[in-house]
Amino acid sequence: MNDSLADLENKHKQLVMIGGKGGVGKTTCATAIAVHFARLGRKTLVISSDPTPSLSDIFEMEIGDHQTPIAGIGGLYGIEISSDVVLNMWRERFGAEIYEVISSFADVDYDFVDYIGTAPGIEEEYMLNYILGLVESKQFDLVVWDTAPAGHTLKLLHLPQIFLKHLEAATKFYMNIYSYFEKLKETVKLQKGKRTLLEIISSWEALAIKIVDFIRDQEKSEFIIVTIPEALGVRQTERIISDFDQYELMVNHMIINNVVKEADCSFHQARKAMQTEYIKILEDKYGDRIKLIQVPLAPHEIKGVERIEQVSEILFSK
């Protein structure tokens, strides 16, 4: 029995996130899903934040960090974005603000802003913030996000915690500097910053909470796991799902990719037997609450619109 993603067609989600280990077929599935919805007439953006550029390869055209219309598929746009670009946007958004506050009581140069930018969680939070900005801009009916490999995605879930911890430490650190300069107040004339540091920090905190609320909202967003029927794939999937459970985030669909369907030699028979065991583990463990969609291993790589559409057909078969 094979499930399908077809139930997503009448749900009108705004954001579909694709996660899983590196190399399992995330980008392939993300593009197949995006192409499918574009063909249904929904204006769709597929965005990849994986450091290994891949949309360009799959669509066989240059896709950069700006919305690029995908040739041959009306209503489909692509963006490939690196964390460098995202950090730069963060710097533009918050840099001046941070600098203004800190420099109002401490003699720091602008490099200090970059130092804060390297804090754990900032990159992930800003990536999500950027993507949420695209979703909320209502330029698209649907945004399909091909996330970076699992480790990264998981970090996003812990984000508020990681982030708040960091901010706590940072706040103490800045406050120490601040009180030090406060003591010198009599001798040194200090100007007052426009916004206090705590105000800025609590606005970041609010952002983190807003982001997690959006991801948790079943009306608006959906997270799809891609895996392969092998030990590593299964183990990583278990980790992702138990993390999701912990944060009360739902996974409704799992794509099991690279499944050997026809085995006409001993090599493929052995692989098929191995895969069958792992598929059974996934079915036993999740079959009652997650739709499991098998995608066969093709004899070729998945490149170009025609082959992507073959994958769409499998994913959305009725």
Q: Which amino acid is at 137?
A: S
199 binds, among Mg ion, ligand ADP, none (CB under 5 to 8 A by kind): none
Q: Which of residues 41-60 bind ligand ADP (CB under 6 A)?
A: 54
Q: CB of 231: closest distance to Mg ion in angstroms? A: 21
DSSP code for 75? T
237 forms part of the interface with Mg ion (CB under 5 A):
no
Residue from 159, 224, 295, 315 in contact with ligand ADP (CB under 6 A): 295
**# of chain residues touching Mg ion (CB under 5 A):** 4
The CA distance from 171 to 166, in Å, is: 8
Candidates 23-31, 32-40, 183-191, 209-217: pick the segment binding ligand ADP (CB under 6 A).
23-31
Which residue among 214, 298, 309, 310 contacts ligand ADP (CB under 6 A)? 298
Residue 27 sits in the site that holds ligand ADP (CB under 6 A): yes
| Interaction between residue 22 and ligand ADP (CB under 6 A) | yes
Instruction: Report, in angstroms and rounded to the nearest whole number, the Rg of the chain calculated over CA atoms.
Output: 23
**Nearest CA-CA partner of 275 in 291, 292, 250:** 292
Helix (H) or strand (E) holding 83: helix 83-105
**Distance between CA atoms of residues 243 and 156, nearest Å:** 11
CB of 28 to ligand ADP, least distance (A): 3
Q: Where are the alpha helices (DSSP H) in 40-82?
A: 55-59
From candidates 182, 245, 301, 313, binder to ligand ADP by CB under 6 A: 301
Rule CB under 5 A: say whether 27 interacts with Mg ion. Answer: yes
Chosen residue from 3, 50, 80, 123 binding Mg ion by CB under 5 A: 50
Provide CB contacts within 8 A for 210, sequence distance 6+: 132
Q: How far is the CB of 149 from ligand ADP (least distance, A)?
A: 7
- For residue 25, the minimal CB distance to ligand ADP (Å) is 4
Question: How far is Cα 122 from Cα 166, in angstroms, rounded to an integer?
Answer: 10
Of 16-24, 197-205, 269-277, 281-289, the window that binds ligand ADP (rule: CB under 6 A) is: 16-24
How far apart are the C-alpha atoms of 210 and 128, rounded to whole Å?
10
28 binds ligand ADP (CB under 6 A): yes
Please provide residue 100's backbone torsions phi and psi, each rounded to the nearest 5 degrees. Answer: -60, -45
Strand pairing partners for 142? 44
Is 23 a residue that touches ligand ADP (CB under 6 A)? yes
Beta strands 253-259 and 291-296, pairing class: parallel
Residue nearest Mg ion, CB atom distance = 27
- Which residue bears the tokens 């800025």? 200
Nearest to 30 by CA among 54, 61, 3, 66: 54
Q: How many helices (H) and strands (E) does the chain have?
A: 10, 8
Q: Is 24 in the site for ligand ADP (CB under 6 A)?
A: yes
- The interface with ligand ADP within residues 241-260 (CB under 6 A) comprises 257-258
Q: Binding to ligand ADP by residue 224, rule CB under 6 A?
A: no
* Partner from ligand ADP, Mg ion, none contacting 69, C-beta within 5 to 8 A by type: none
Q: Closest by alpha carbon to 123, among 131, 277, 288? A: 131
- Note the residues at the interface with Mg ion (CB under 5 A): 26-27, 50, 54
- Note the residues at the interface with ligand ADP (CB under 6 A): 22-28, 54, 257-258, 295, 297-298, 301-302
